[in-house]
Each structure stands twice: as structure tokens, then as C-alpha cells.
Amino acid sequence: MSRCRHDWVVAFAGFSCGLAAVASLTSGGRVATGQPKALVVAPAPQAPTLAAAATLGAKVGETVELTLTGTNLTDPVGVLLSCPGKVTIPTDNKNGTDAGKLRVKVELPAECPIGLHTIRVATKQGVSNFRPFVVDELAAVPEADTNRSKDTPQALAVPTVVTGRADAEASDFYKVKVNPGQTVTFEVIARRIGSPLDPIIVLHDAKTKREIVELYADDTPGLQSDCRLTYTFKDGGEFLVEVRDTTYRGGADYAYRLRVGEFPGATTAFPVAVQRGQTASVGFAGPNTADIPPVSVKAPADPTVAAVYVAPKKSSVSGWPVPVRLSDWPESAEQEPNDDPAKANKLPVPGGVSGRFEKGGDADHFAVAVKKGVKYSASAATFEINSPCEVLVRVLDEKGKEVARSNPTQSAARVEFTPAADATYTIACEQLNFVSGPNEIYHLTVAPVTPDFTIALALDRCEAPAGGGTAVGATVNRLNGYAGPVELSIVGDPALSGSATLPAGQTVAFIPLMVKDGTRPGAYPFRVQGKATVGTEAVVRTGTLIDTVKATLGGMPNPPLDLLAGCAVGVTEKPAFTVKLAADPAAIEKGKGGKVLVEIERGTGADGDVAVAPVFPPANVTPAAAKPIAKGATKTDLALTVAPAAATGPTPLALKLTTKIGGKDYAVTPPPLLIDVTEPKKAEPKKDAPKKEKS
């Protein structure tokens, strides 16, 4: 029975599958049970937003002017690109005064890597959500409005890339001329850049207008429902290229990029992963990739970087890049022959290996040295790495007896086993559906099952004034029984700082993000890093935003790993009001109560009522509703009850203050208040009354 998963439909579902893909390369055997839902925090209403745009991108080595659309785009102070480049904001024609659109000029260096990047806008009020920004080696040409018929196709040179948009109940037609013996690749990039389009490619003879049945592509394996067609034209001539949605959907956000040229295609890198800080030769997997030269990859040691990207290149034009994942342990590629246990490749534990079922009936075997009484996991990633492969994983003891096998009806090809003695076991991997070929790639991880944790962030953007700060919400999911403390910190731009310790057993945290005094207004990138000591080992994890990234990218099944952890803070000149928080008393005993004192300093225009509300208060700490700070006033307080079951130690409480300025909503989230929760004081024994002396 096949595991019912489709590379272009499921995977990275919500928080579970997405983290499983990351976890497979960082910690073996992660099992989470009864985990809390991740926090969801709304962005500040005064912050800018960017709308979906069909043609955001540029060619390497060139300068382009782009028009960004959205809301709250007035008073821009900067643009943040996730790739190398220089961005300026023209000041002519009252640019920057229209809340709905903004012109920016982007200059990319020649060495800028091609692929999917991001762009954000910062204004005096905050920073926007990210939008896809596509970098290519080919100069883009816009789609012509007249290409809806085979009789009026848009002529294209080879190579080229077209930025187009699919309309409902319509097809787009392009005409290309190819030479005899020329091999040309036609590739539609849509879902991989966040478009909802599910594209197909159909080639037609330009003279007869008849469809060429064998020259058709839809849901090419490994492309997340995008399509790619590579063909060698024996006779040459003119051909029509039809692009449309598979069910004839369309609309303003159904954008695509049609790449046409003599460039190679790849579905995955091979090997799939490289150990951090190491250099490896990385090739490519997929149809027609056998003769693509490998590239040397130097993996960064930074634990917050999840992947690097490599582009296959055979001629002057590169194919679309594929990720190389970064691992915390040794990585290798399988070596044939390893078709039986006697020829098994040795695999260190913990360790990872990239395998491929190249021939019919291929089976791969890996020998692992295991210890008595230690629980291990063996898991094979396939759809998570954009491979169509389906793997059956079996564990064999030294006598060849099967001790565990993966369940084909479950989504994860994963097993757990505990050896009864020190021994060398064999991990056997087989193609579940007996398919073979260059596409059938998998990544096997074998590691001890140890306590661990992951971090889900509540929001990918926030705002704070220079010299001030804000609160960053996170949910820590504890795995495999880990219940200890987690040290959370802000890492990234040196102008930013902040840290907090999440006490043992707790799951919700608010980390203070502080901005260095004198920092210029603009957008500054950061990530949230968590550290814990498990036994004698230091465990480092990076906060992720899987649901946010998926939603921004049109429900992309497997979002790029490098986008999952990227956050930004908009540094502002000064908020409409500043906030001071204090606990009264400074330390609150369990089972008792206290107050949170709130005081504001009003700025220009912030003279109305200010509402005060807690944001996801910690467990067993219950704040009462606070009276709004009335117009003209500067203070309020809210009662606080600490239950006997509350955790002791510094407990962060985040508040959001909202008001109206100029008739528009405005919100401020100051750094969290640390409430010192203490054990109840023991009552002192009563002293006996002094005895009266006898007269």
C-alpha cells in the first residue's frame, strides 16, 4: 500500500510536517505529544503592508524601478531585501506620500544568487510583511495582452523569461523558433514563487496549430505542482507554447514566470544535505541531470541558517536553484553496490546519507553501530525534500532478523528501535512502489531519540523605537520528554538585543527585543534562537514561522527553509506614546495578588483614550481587565492574581496598548514586564506570652 502523500499537495502541513522536515536534519526521533497551539499575534494596525505583486524581481547586475502596492506606505524610510543589493526610494513626483503605492529602485550586483528572495518596506510606523522577490540571470519581458489565441502568439527569443498572469478560462500562447537538434527547456515557475497557479505546458505545431501530445508537462515531480518540459527537437522549426492553469483558474494574483532556454533542470541536490562548517561536492538529481557538473558547497557554521541554494549550470544559463540542507552531523551519499547487508555502507550515528533508487529492484543497506538500551530512530525524508520517492525503512539485527519497519499507511517513513545489546544493525531502504530512476531520491537519518524542543514564533514583524523595545512572542514545543529551561535570545543585526529564560515546564514566552539608542529608522532582520542543555549536550534551535510563510506564499507545500526563520523589526523614530510598566509589589507570592502599574508619556496626537490589554498571559497568572487610560490621563493599573500552581521565578507579562490617532488605529507593545513569582512565606511560629511572676 502506498503512503497517500503527494509532493505538491500535502507536506509541511501546519506546524507538524514543516518542523519534521527541518527536524530530520537536526535531531533524530523528535516526537511531540499534546503540544499547545502556536501563538498568533496580529501586526500593529499602523504598520505598512505589501499586496501580492506579479512581477517583483530583477536581473542580476542590473537596476530596475518597481512599484510596490499595499497600505500605510507613506513616509518610507527604507527597503529590506533578503539578497545582496542596493535599494533607494526616489523622491520625485511626491513619491512616498501615497498610502497605496510606492516606487523603489533596486540595483543588484552581478554575483547576486538567482532564485526566490524577499522584500519588505519600512516606514516611520513600522515594517511590512514580506513579498516574494525573484532574481534571474535572464532579462524579463512582460506578457503581451494579445497572446490569448493561437493566431496571435507572443514571439519569444531563446533564451528568455516572461512575466505573465493567467486569466480565468483562458490560455496564454507564445511562439518560439528552435534549430534542428537543439535541446530546449520550458519551465513555468508559479507555486515556487508563491502564486496559486497550478500550471501546465502544452506545445503545438505553429503551422497546423495542432497539439503535440507527447510535449506536455503538468505537476512535474519535485516542482511543487509547477511544470518543466525538456525536449530535443530533431527537425527544428516554430512551435507554440501554451501556458494555463490546469483547471482554467486565473486572476490578478495568478502570476507565473515562463523560462525558455538551453538550461538544465534539477529536482533536488545530491547529496541532499551537508554538515555545517564542512565543504562538499554537490551534484544534482532529476531527469537529464547526469552530465551536469557538480558544484563545491561550503556550508556555513551558523546554526540559524537552514539551507543554501545551488543552481545547475551546463551552458551560459543556469537552471532554477535547489536547496542543500544543513545538518548538525556527518553527511554522505550512498555508494553502490550496497544491495545486500553484506555490502552495507557504514553510517555514523548520528548521521545522514542521501540515497537514490537508480535501477529496478534497487535496495540500499547501511550499517550502524548501536548501543544497548538506547532508543534510536531511522527516518527517510522524501516529499519534504521535493522528491517523489516513497521509501520503506526496515531495521535488521546482526542475524538479519527484522526488528522494525516503517508503516506505509503513515505519512512519515520512520521507525524506532532499542537494541538489546551493543551491536551493528542494518538499515534497509527500499522503494515502496518499486519505482526507479534519477528522480527517486531520499535522505536517511539515524540518530538517538533524545529530549528536544522546537520554537514557533507568533509574528514575523514588529516595531520598536530607537532606545526602546518590544515583545516577541514564541511557543516552545517540548519533545521526547524535555521539560527543562530554554534560553531564548534575539540574534541578527548588532543594533538589536534581548534575551529571556523560559522556566522548566512552561511553553509560552515573550522575549524582549531592544533597539540600541541612536539606531537609524528602517527595517532590521533578526531571528530567535533557543538554547538548552540536555544531559551534557548543548541543543540549539531556531524559531520558525511555517504557517505565516505558507500563507504569504499562496499555500506553498514546501516553503524555502531559509524563509522560515526570517523576522524583521521596524525601527521607528519615536512612538506616539512611551510606556512604563511595574509590578506592585515587586515580588508576588503564589496564591496571592498584586497589581501591574501602567504609565504612559503621550506624544503629538496621542491625546485620546488608551486601552490596555494583556497578550497571552502566562499560565496560572491571571490579569484582570484594566480601565482605559482616559483622555488627558497617563496612568492605570490592572489587578493580577497568581495561582498556587504558578511557576516560580521571573515570569514575563506582555501588554498591548491601543488608541486612535487621526481617526486611525494605533498600537504599541512594550517590552514584557518580568513579574517575580515567589513561594509563599512560611508563617513564623507564635511566641508564648510571658509568664507573670508570683508576688
Q: What is the mean pLDDT of the chain?
A: 91
End-of-domain residue from the set 383, 413, 448: 448
Is residue 253 assigned to a domain? yes
d(CA 657, CA 627): 12
Q: For position 688, what pLDDT does the model report?
A: 66
- Report the distance separating Cα 203 and Cα 212, nearest Å: 6
Whether residues 162 and 126 fall in one domain: no
DSSP-based three-state secondary structure for 494: coil
- Give one DSSP letter per residue of 380-437, joined into a string: EESGGGT----EEEEEE-TTS-EEEE--TTSSSEEEEE--SSSEEEEEEEEETT---S
Considering the domain boundaries, does residue 35 fall inside one?
Answer: no
Q: DSSP string covering 304-349, please?
A: T--EEEE--BSSSSBPPPEEEEEESS-EEE--S--SSGGGPEE--S
Residue 687: predicted pLDDT: 67
Q: What is the pLDDT of residue 682?
A: 80
Q: Give residue 17's pLDDT band: very low, low, confident or very high (50, 70, 90).
A: very low
**221 and 289 housed in the same domain:** yes
pTM for the full predicted model: 0.90
What is the average pLDDT across 64-72? Answer: 95
Among the listed ranges 17-26, 85-94, 247-256, 442-451, which one has the minimum average pLDDT value?
A: 17-26
The enclosing domain of 93 has a CATH number of 2.60.40.10
Q: For residue 12, name the pLDDT band (cuts at 50, 70, 90).
A: very low
pLDDT level of residue 54 (50, 70, 90 thresholds): low
* Model confidence at 555: pLDDT above 80: yes
Pairwise pLDDT comparison (127 vs 53), residue with the higher score: 127
As a whole number, mean pLDDT of residues 224-243 equals: 95
Q: What was the pLDDT predicted at 115?
A: 95
Instruction: Average the pLDDT over 356-370 and give the result.
Output: 95
Mean pLDDT value across residues 628-645: 94
Least confident range of 49-58, 327-336, 370-379, 564-573: 49-58
pLDDT for position 304: 87
Does residue 472 share a domain with residue 389?
A: no
Whichever domain contains 386, its CATH number is 2.60.120.380
Helical spans, DSSP H, in 179-221 = none
Within a domain: 390:
yes
Would you state the pLDDT for residue 694? Answer: 58
pLDDT-above-70 percentage for the chain: 93
Among 49-53, 193-197, 269-273, 388-392, the least confident range: 49-53
The 10s digit of each residue's pLDDT in 415-455 is: 999 999 999 999 999 999 999 988 899 999 999 999 999 99
Q: How confident is the model over 471-491, as a mean pLDDT?
A: 95
Tell me phi and psi for residue 600, to 5 degrees. Answer: -120, 155
Q: Indicate the residue among 516, 547, 572 that finishes a domain.
A: 572
Least-confidence region, from 24-28, 117-121, 446-450, 462-466 = 24-28
Q: Are residues 441 and 511 in the same domain?
A: no
Confidence band, pLDDT 50/70/90 cuts, at residue 3: very low
Q: Is residue 374 part of a domain?
A: yes
6 pLDDT more than 90: no
Residues 193 and 89 in one domain: no
**262/278 Cα distance (integer angstroms):** 32
Residues whose CB is less than 8 angstroms from the CB of residue 585 and which lie 6 or more positions away in sequence, other chains included: 594
- The whole domain housing 176 covers 141-317
What would the grid cell of residue 281 be?
A: 561536492
Q: State residue 19's pLDDT score.
A: 37
Q: Are residues 426 and 287 in the same domain?
A: no
Cell numbers linked to 655: 501588554
| CA separation for the pair 412, 435 (Å, rounded) | 18
Average pLDDT over residues 278-307: 92
Q: Is 261 left (phi over 0), alpha (psi -120 to 50) or beta?
A: left
Q: Is the pLDDT of residue 55 over 80?
A: no
Domain closes at, from 381, 415, 448: 448
Do residues 295 and 408 share a domain? no
pLDDT at position 39 = 84
Residue with cell 524563509: 563
For residues 485 and 423, membership in a common domain is answered with no
Average pLDDT over residues 262-287: 95
Could you tell me if residue 515 is inside a domain?
yes
Rounded mean pLDDT of 399-403? Answer: 96
Average pLDDT over residues 302-320: 92
- Residues 368, 467: one domain? no
Is the pLDDT confidence value at 195 over 90? Answer: yes
Residue 691: band (very low, low, confident or very high) from pLDDT cuts 50, 70, 90: low
Per-residue pLDDT averaged across 510-539, rounded? 95
Amino acid identity, residue 680?
P
Assess whether 405 and 421 both reside in one domain.
Answer: yes
The answer, yes or no, to whether residue 61 has pLDDT greater than 60, is yes
- Residue 691, in any domain of the structure: no
Average pLDDT over residues 132-137: 95
Q: Which pLDDT does position 557 carry in this prediction? A: 86
The type of residue at 188 is: V
Question: Per-residue pLDDT for 681 more than 60?
Answer: yes
Task: State whether 443 and 479 are in the same domain.
Answer: no
Higher pLDDT residue, 27 or 240? Answer: 240
Query: What share of the chain in percent tops pLDDT 90?
Result: 81
> Residue 518, Cβ neighbours under 10 Å: how many?
8
Inside any domain, residue 685: no
**Among 106-115, 295-304, 519-528, 546-555, the least confident range:** 546-555
Domain-embedded: residue 43: no
Residues 164 and 251 in one domain: yes
pLDDT score, position 335? 96
pLDDT digits over 574-604, tens only? 888 999 999 999 999 999 999 999 999 998 8
Q: What is the count of structural domains for the chain?
A: 5
Predicted pLDDT at 16: 32
